[in-house]
Amino acid sequence: MAIATASLVYNRHQIPIPPDWHITVGQTSLTIVLVNAASNALNQATDVEADKISKPYRPIPRGLIRADTSQSLAYLLYLFALLRAVTINLWFGIFIFLIMVFTVTYSLPPRMKKYLFINQVWIAIPRGLFGILASWSVFGANPFTPTPLAIGLISTVYLIGGMSTKDLTDAEADKKTGVKTLINTYGNTKTALIIFPFMFFPFLFIPIFINQGVLEPYVWPLTFLVIFSLIILYLILKGKESDVFENVNAWSLMYFQYIFFAMGFSLLTIFSDILPF
C-alpha cells in the first residue's frame, strides 16, 4: 500500500491522480495478501513433517485441516489473485505471476527451499524486488526506472540476509527433513556473521545512490535503519524466542525493519515538498 501510494505521488506530473486511487490501492494490496496467503497455505501443506517437530500448534499437525485441503485452498487463492491482478494492469499481473512462480517452486519440486543459500535468494526476490516493482506499477508508472529498481535492490539484498532469522526455530526440523539452511549448517554465530553484510550495507548504499542521482536526496534518513541491523545481529546471537510472535525476536524485528523501510520511503516521498532537506 505504501509503495503504490508513493509511486502515484512520485509520478503525479506524468500520471493524473484518479479520484478513487485509494480503492485501487486497497484492491492491489488485497491481491498481494492473497498471494501471500496462498504461499503460506502451500508451504504448510508441504512442510507437515517439519511442522510436527517445530510448529505442532499449526492447523495441519493438529489435525484441524488436511494437507491436501490446504494445498487445494492455495491453488484457489493463487488463481483468484492472478485473475484479479491482470485486471489492474499488465505489468502488475506479470509481477504477481512471477511472485507465484517463485513461491510455488520454493515449496514444490524443484523445491528450492532445501538448497543452501538458494532458499534465501528464492524468498528475497519475490518479497523484495518483484513486490516493490509490482506495487510501483499499480497506477501505470514505469517499474524499470532507477528509483523503484534501487528500492527493490536494497530490499532484495536485505531480505537475502534477513530470511535466515526465520530458520532459528526450525533448525532441527529442517535438518531432519533434508532442508539445508545457514542456521543448521553453520550455527547461529557463523550465520550472523554471514548475513550481517546483507542486512547492513544495503542501507549504506542509499547515500551512494543519492550521490549518483538514482534516489532523491530526501530519502537519506533511511540510512539510519542500519541501527536495526545491529540489534538484529545481537538477537540472532542470543536466539531468544518471542513471547508475542511465532518466531524469535530477530525474525520479528527483521520484518518491522522492512516495514519501516517501505513506510519511511513512502512518507518521505509523499511529503517531500514540505521537508526541510
Is residue 113 within 8 Å of 179, Cβ to Cβ?
yes
Q: What is the mean pLDDT of the chain?
A: 94
- What pLDDT, on a 0 to 100 scale, did the predictor assign at position 241? 59
- Rounded to whole angstroms, how far apart are CA atoms 207 and 261? 15
Has residue 266 got a pLDDT over 80?
Answer: yes
pTM for the model stands at: 0.93
Mean pLDDT calculated for residue range 180-207: 95
Strand, helix or coil at 248? strand
What ranges in the chain are assigned the alpha helix state H? 2-10, 21-46, 48-54, 67-88, 90-107, 118-124, 131-136, 146-162, 171-176, 182-211, 226-238, 249-270
Coil, helix or strand at residue 241 = strand
Q: Set out the domains of the chain in order of their start, with CATH numbers.
A: 2-272 (1.10.600)
201-259 confidence digits (pLDDT tens):
999 999 999 999 999 999 999 999 999 999 999 988 876 555 666 668 898 899 999 99
240 versus 32: the higher-pLDDT residue is: 32
Query: What pLDDT, on the 0 to 100 scale, is given for residue 152?
Result: 97
| CA 64 to centroid of chain Cα atoms | 28
- 194 pLDDT higher than 70: yes
DSSP string, 176-229: HTT---HHHHHHHHHHHHHHHHHHHHHHHHHHHHHHTTSS-GGGGGGGGGHHHH
Could you tell me how far CA 150 lies from the centroid of its own chain? 15
Quote the pLDDT of residue 276. 85
pLDDT given at position 114: 96
pLDDT for residue 238:
79
